[in-house]
Chains A and B, each alone.
Chain A
């Protein structure tokens, strides 16, 4: 845990200008996967990025035109827009390690 916060600090120091995590989560209404994904990502963010993230949840049932713009196929889909590199994660975010890897928060180990 200490290691991971260290990584986080390094990241935060590395690009202070865009240090804030901009995340966009595409879900489809109240499907079980969507609900789980929202819960999982919220808890991950609260745990690893407290106060340092901006999570936007988009229901593509409501805004289908956004689905094309972001090339959404599989849902739930979370796109990390910032910091660079842009990453796409699909699934209900239950695999925390993979989510952290996607967010660039995981250590190599």
Chain B
């Protein structure tokens, strides 16, 4: 909206100026709108939305681009028209009062008219000219011009006058839309396409498998590149939205930010941080494996971070999901109340695939969530072939990536093709694929969870047992025993067994420890006694040695005494040995 409001002037594409229609998506397909100052033809069957598209062109022109418009209604009266489009939020009366649009009802009834000779349609020209000039209109709609053919007999006059009308409109420089009923084998019943050659848009309302899809195709657009495909469009309370949803660029921004899945153990499996923001993750598994629980816990986590989440529920009603998820200890109701979580529940076969895409787009554009959950995508297969569903999901993922929105899909896989492929073949499209599968063993069914792939991050290659408890979701390492993978009670048993073994082992260990302590004590006692023994032996040895020393000393003294006595020395000298002995 802000973008379109910025470009108020007709956008120049090469040499052909264009007038923005303001209709969501149509301007993208046509590369800027309808040819400016020229007539365009919108044709289609009854009820395909011709009148609505043309009135929207006029109203949006008046409201968004400040270009007044004249709507010439050959079919409906002004009041009827105002009433019909009031449900889309267009207040025609007010716009008419503001002189932004002018509605001119042209009534032709053959029974009232007598043709009395030559005539022309100058009256229409004058009326139109007057209407255009009175409000300075830049846009004109003639809906449905073919009614002239039913009201007037003279085909030759009509055809020449129509030709004149179109050249006159061009001369007036108004951007005009002419609507025409689709005819057998031709675009319009009266061959109007012969006269309007610049731009022809075909609207179509097709029923395939009892599901109606409105589609739009630009058949020709002279002097301009345009989208050539059939584009689905939606008429809802905001008018028409066309979605040129196939982006060919593949030039999306990528984020390295990681967001939690809401199950800490799963985050651990995904490199410890969770998923990339803006990434897509597929949770597939057989019935009753907890896909919705996983999705809800993801949504819960997002809302806990105060981010917005849109939950597309394709199977269960929002209330049902809220009730069921409450049983695993997650309260989604408070997020719904706070406006962070928005449920969009619709049955897949409510409308066609394309319409689902369009509706999802609209919803996402409106709420601008950071995370989208689609639960499940499986039932889309009911309303389209595998390739169609895949195509649709590619476009969905593409769109979400562009908007930097993370998405979680859930998909039911069948037992026969478990872990090979999901029905929709989307496993190759997504960034991460989490598989939840049943492990049946020992008369029990347990859930096992794998991360099949996770682009751009280290992820665990192990199977975890996925347990849904009253306090949320948990992942437990499975036991790889001699008999294979053990889960559930078998795992518990194994754990008990191992605990017993542990107890016995630890008991044995403590006994050994005690013995060692005892041994050490004995040895230490022994060492002590040996030590004492050694001391006594040492003392004994020392004693002998001292005695020897003493003896030697005494002998020496005696010898000295004898020597001194022999020499006859005095008393003075006698004291010397005494002192030395003291020493």
Contact = CB atoms under 8 A, between A and B. Distances in A.
Contact of B122 (A75, A95, A98): A75
A28 B115 CA distance: 17
B386 interface: no
A67 B129 CA distance: 11
A53 B249 CA distance: 75
B263 interface: no
Contacts of B152: 74, 90
Interface string B415-428: 00000000000000
B114 A88 contact: yes
A95 B121 CA distance: 19
Interface of A is mostly: mixed
28 contacts: A26-B123, A28-B122, A36-B117, A37-B117, A60-B123, A60-B126, A64-B130, A67-B126, A67-B127, A68-B104, A73-B121, A74-B120, A74-B152, A75-B121, A75-B122, A77-B119, A87-B114, A88-B113, A90-B113, A90-B116, A91-B116, A92-B117, A92-B119, A94-B116, A94-B117, A98-B114, A98-B115, A98-B117
B106 interface: yes
B148 interface: yes
A89 B114 contact: yes
Contact of B119 (A71, A76, A86, A87): A76
B123 A92 contact: no
Interface of B: 104, 106-108, 112-124, 126-127, 129-131, 148, 151-152
Contacts of A33: 117-120
B123 A67 contact: yes
Interface in A21-76: 26, 28, 31, 33, 36-37, 40, 60-61, 64-65, 67-68, 71-76
Interface of A: 26, 28, 31, 33, 36-37, 40, 60-61, 64-65, 67-68, 71-78, 86-95, 98-99, 101-102
The interface centre, meaning the residue of A75, A94, A95, A102 with most chain B CB atoms within 10 A of its CB, is: A75
B109 to A, nearest CB: 9
Determine the main DSSP class of B at the interface with A.
mixed
A54 to B, nearest CB: 19
Contact of B117 (A28, A68, A91): A91
For the complex of A and B, the 6 pairs showing the least CB-CB separation, nearest first, are A91-B117, A64-B130, A94-B117, A72-B123, A91-B116, A102-B114
A94 B123 contact: no
Given A73-B124, A74-B152, A98 B130 contact: no
B299 to A, nearest CB: 58
B99 to A, nearest CB: 14
Contacts of B118: 33, 36, 91-92, 94
A31 B125 CA distance: 14
Contacts of A36: 117-118
Contacts of A28: 120, 122-123, 126
B147 to A, nearest CB: 10
B115 A91 contact: yes
Given A33-B119, A74-B152, A61 B126 contact: yes
Contacts of A102: 114, 116
A61 B151 CA distance: 23
A98 B117 CA distance: 9
Nearest to A103: B114
A49 B220 CA distance: 56
A90 B126 contact: no
A86 B111 CA distance: 12
Contacts of B108: 71, 73
A95 B116 contact: yes
Contacts of B116: 78, 89-95, 98-99, 102
A100 B122 CA distance: 24
A101 B112 CA distance: 12
Nearest to A75: B123
B474 to A, nearest CB: 75
Contacts of B123: 26, 28, 60, 67, 72-75, 77
Contacts of A71: 106-108
